[in-house]
Structure 1
Amino acid sequence: MVWLCFLVDQRRKVRRSKPAAGTCSRCGGGASVADMMTQTRFCCVPFHYKCWKAIICTFCGATLKSYT
């Protein structure tokens, strides 16, 4: 019997951010507009990058709205 195990993970990183008007609906913290980068890796080798903008909470880190 052969078992195949694939290790795939995805990391999300904030490249830069700036303050935005508004508050988080979950915790009441401040909001910021951030340039995000998602990196998908297969066995520790990155094979897909995606860059996008999002409005995130500065206190809890929740994504409030995303733009592609």
Structure 2
Amino acid sequence: MCLLLCSKEEKEVRRQQASGACPNCGGKVEAVDVGIQWRFFCLPLCFIFKRKYFCNLCSRRLVLYNC
């Protein structure tokens, strides 16, 4: 029931080059800032910013691990 009432909307805010290289193909890494908005019917519930990393050549999503 919640699937019909709630919706998630993602919007790309900014894209910039990040440091490092892709471990798969050696391409350049891009940092993408994404704004995520959750809605209940038409009312916005929350707005979150996340940063995602992608490779320019192979378009893979890269994950950072902090040790």
Fold match by TM threshold 0.5: yes
Measure how far apart 1:65 and its partner are.
2.7
**8 Å contact from structure 1 (residues 24, 57) kept in 2:** no
Aligned residues: 60
Matches within 5 A, 1:1-68: 6-20=4-18, 21-23=20-22, 31-57=29-55, 63-65=61-63
Normalized per residue, the structure richer in helix is: 2
For 2:34, the aligned partner's letter is M
Measure how far apart 1:14 and its partner are.
1.1
What is the CA deviation profile of residues 17-46 of structure 1, one whole-angstrom value per residue up to 9, with x for unaligned ones? 013454595xx7864101111100110221
State the identity as a percent: 23
For structure 1, the 5+ residue unaligned runs are none
CA change 1:63–1:43 in 2 (3 A) is farther
For structure 2, the 5+ residue unaligned runs are none
What is the root-mean-square deviation of aligned Cα atoms in Å? 2.8
Runs of 4+ that moved beyond 2 A: 19-25, 28-31, 56-60, 62-66
| TM-score, with length taken from structure 1 | 0.57
